[in-house]
């Protein structure tokens, strides 16, 4: 994407204060982060015969991927088209998407999804074996594949972890907080320093030497008081990139998910997500008087793009002086089988969504901006790549379309893999 409007932040420290590395390991590629983006880059790099070190802040499955509910958007229905998917993406992105990046996403998505299935991910299918497709906000067609009902991310994470763990060419370092980028005399990325906190064979500050570094560290939702993101989502990759002189952009475009489960006025940190797919299957929003309020706001009503729904909810909350609205899922068929994760979260909060209204409120959900990359994941620092939520490829514009995030990780990881293989 163009860097003309992007910001190069000055006045920041260029390195964190840390002791010199006390241990080292070497690989062709160092991947920082272990969600869909990081693990897919690792698998593609391995397919190209490269050795890979994956370093991750806590445990391998502690990132955002495992929490994704809704699914992965991909054009699989013969009645659907990549052009329609592109149009929906650009409408949700409020005209600020990069059309070339969007075109890559929607055209390459289906093939990458099939590859994920080949790697072992099992998605929900009808009795004849066809993938089940649902709809989420901003989509004009049913094109969301899902797994375990509303446990898509968990299945994606499991399949990728199994594949990576089975490969002796991948060294996995857990509990490793990345510190700074290492560079060679020409300024090219040459690895990272990191701090391993008392787990595994390495301990203390160390270094991974590599000829390419791929940041796949996810988002920064924990900057906000209430978020759907797990505790590890603290923006480490963007911070490292900025210290290393990489250009970041669109950091103000933080998407709020309209429906996090409302757990009371004191709720802080990660809040349970109530997937948009529930609205895709017929759930509706109601105010305190029981009235639906989305119908007059947008032609897609409850399935309008997320920013529209989140703002409408906030307006109702301000109008009525309340801190949540209600999601009515009582008419959704087969609720417990189709949405087991949500039903479990509700039950843990003492709510039966089959018979009761569910209190919901918006929460910080997704960073649409990040480190500027081109279409093969290169940041503005040679040898430093970014993939997934930490990157700004331009596909999301000001507001990501539902279920385009796992898809972006799949698609751009493959492109980074091809670039690493060529370089
Ligand atoms: C959801 O299931 O509502 C979230 C999916 C996404 O963020 O794309």
Active-site residue, selected from the candidate residues 306, 338, 378, 400: 306
Nearest atom of ligand 1 to the alpha carbon of 365: 7
Give me ligand 1 centre to Cα 3, in Å.
28
How many CB atoms within 10 Å of residue 423?
13
Q: What is the pLDDT of residues 213-225, one digit of tens each?
A: 999 999 999 999 9
Which residue's C-alpha comes closest to atom 1 of ligand 1?
Answer: 275
Give me ligand 1 centre to Cα 389, in Å.
13
Give me ligand 1 centre to Cα 137, in Å.
9
Under the banding of pLDDT at 50, 70 and 90, the label for residue 374 is very high
- Show Cβ contacts of residue 216 under 8 Å, excluding neighbours closer than 6 positions: 31, 32, 33, 34, 35, 37, 38, 41, 237, 386, 387, 388, 390, 409, 413
Residue 399 · residue 307 · CB < 8 Å: yes
Residue 272 · residue 359 · CB < 8 Å: no
Q: What is the pLDDT of residues 247-284, one digit of tens each?
A: 999 999 999 999 999 999 999 999 999 999 999 999 99
Rounded to the nearest 5 degrees, what angle is found at the Cα of 218, between the Cα atoms of 205 and 106? Answer: 145
- Beta strands, E only, 341-420: 358-367, 370-372, 384-386, 391-392
Instruction: Give the predicted TM-score (pTM) of the model.
Output: 0.95
Cα 98 to chain centroid, rounded: 18
C-alpha–C-alpha distance, residues 369 and 224, integer Å:
16
Computed over every residue of the chain, the mean pLDDT equals 95
C-alpha–C-alpha distance, residues 294 and 284, integer Å:
8
Order of all β-strands in the sheet with 370-372? 248-249, 370-372, 391-392
How many CB atoms within 10 Å of residue 371?
30
List the beta bridge partners of residue 406. none
pLDDT reading at 361 higher than 70: yes
Residue given tokens 């089975």 in the structure block: 166
- Domains, the chain, with CATH or none: 24-253+368-422 (3.50.50.60), 257-362 (3.90.700.10)
Write down the pLDDT at residue 202.
Answer: 67
Write down the pLDDT at residue 4.
Answer: 40
Percent of the chain with pLDDT over 70: 96
Residue 134 · residue 277 · CB < 8 Å: yes
pLDDT reading at 140 higher than 70: yes
Closest CA to 198 of 215, 174, 178: 174
Structure tokens at 57: 């802040």
Q: What is the pLDDT of residues 377-400, one digit of tens each?
A: 999 999 999 999 999 999 999 999
Name the residue of 67, 89, 136 whose CB sits within 8 Å of the most ligand 1 atoms, as the mutation to test its pocket: 136
C-alpha–C-alpha distance, residues 356 and 416, integer Å:
47
Residue 253 · residue 92 · CB < 8 Å: no
């Amino acid at each position: 994407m163009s860097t003309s409007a992007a910001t190069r932040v000055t006045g920041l420290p260029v390195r964190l204060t840390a002791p010199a590395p006390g241990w080292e390991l070497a690989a062709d590629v160092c991947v920082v982060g272990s969600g869909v983006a990081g693990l897919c880059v690792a698998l593609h790099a391995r397919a190209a015969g490269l050795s890979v070190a994956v370093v991750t802040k806590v445990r391998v499955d502690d990132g955002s991927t495992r929490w994704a509910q809704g699914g992965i958007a991909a054009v699989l229905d013969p009645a659907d088209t990549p052009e329609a998917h592109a149009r929906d993406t650009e409408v949700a992105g409020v005209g600020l998407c990069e059309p070339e990046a969007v075109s890559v996403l929607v055209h390459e998505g289906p093939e990458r999804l099939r590859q994920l299935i080949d790697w072992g991910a099992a998605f929900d299918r009808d009795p004849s074996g066809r993938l089940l497709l649902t709809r989420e906000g901003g989509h004009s067609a049913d094109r969301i594949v899902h797994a375990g009902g509303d446990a898509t991310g968990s299945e994606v994470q499991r399949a990728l972890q199994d594949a990576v763990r089975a490969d002796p060419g991948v060294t996995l370092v857990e509990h490793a907080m990345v510190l700074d980028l290492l560079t060679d005399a020409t300024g090219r990325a040459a690895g990272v320093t990191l701090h391993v906190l008392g787990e595994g064979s390495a301990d203390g500050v160390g270094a991974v030497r590599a000829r390419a570094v791929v940041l796949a560290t996810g988002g920064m939702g924990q900057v906000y008081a209430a978020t759907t993101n797990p505790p590890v989502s603290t923006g480490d990759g963007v911070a490292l990139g900025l210290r290393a002189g990489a250009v970041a952009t669109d950091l103000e475009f933080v998407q709020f998910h309209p429906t996090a489960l409302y757990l009371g006025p004191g709720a802080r940190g990660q809040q349970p997500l109530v997937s948009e797919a529930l609205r895709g299957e017929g759930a509706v929003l109601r105010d305190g008087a029981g009235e639906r309020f989305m119908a007059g706001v947008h032609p897609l009503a409850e399935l309008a793009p997320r920013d529209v729904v989140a703002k409408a909810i906030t307006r109702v909350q301000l109008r009525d002086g309340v801190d949540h609205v209600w999601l009515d899922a009582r008419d959704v068929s087969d609720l417990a089988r189709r949405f087991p994760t949500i039903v479990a979260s509700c039950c843990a909060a003492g709510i039966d969504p089959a018979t009761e209204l569910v209190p919901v409120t918006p929460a910080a959900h997704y960073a649409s901006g990040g480190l500027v990359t081109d279409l093969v994941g290169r940041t503005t620092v040679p040898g430093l790549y970014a993939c997934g939520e930490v990157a700004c490829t331009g596909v999301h514009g000001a507001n990501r379309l539902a279920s385009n995030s796992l898809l972006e990780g799949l698609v751009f990881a493959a492109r980074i893999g091809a670039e690493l293989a060529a370089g």
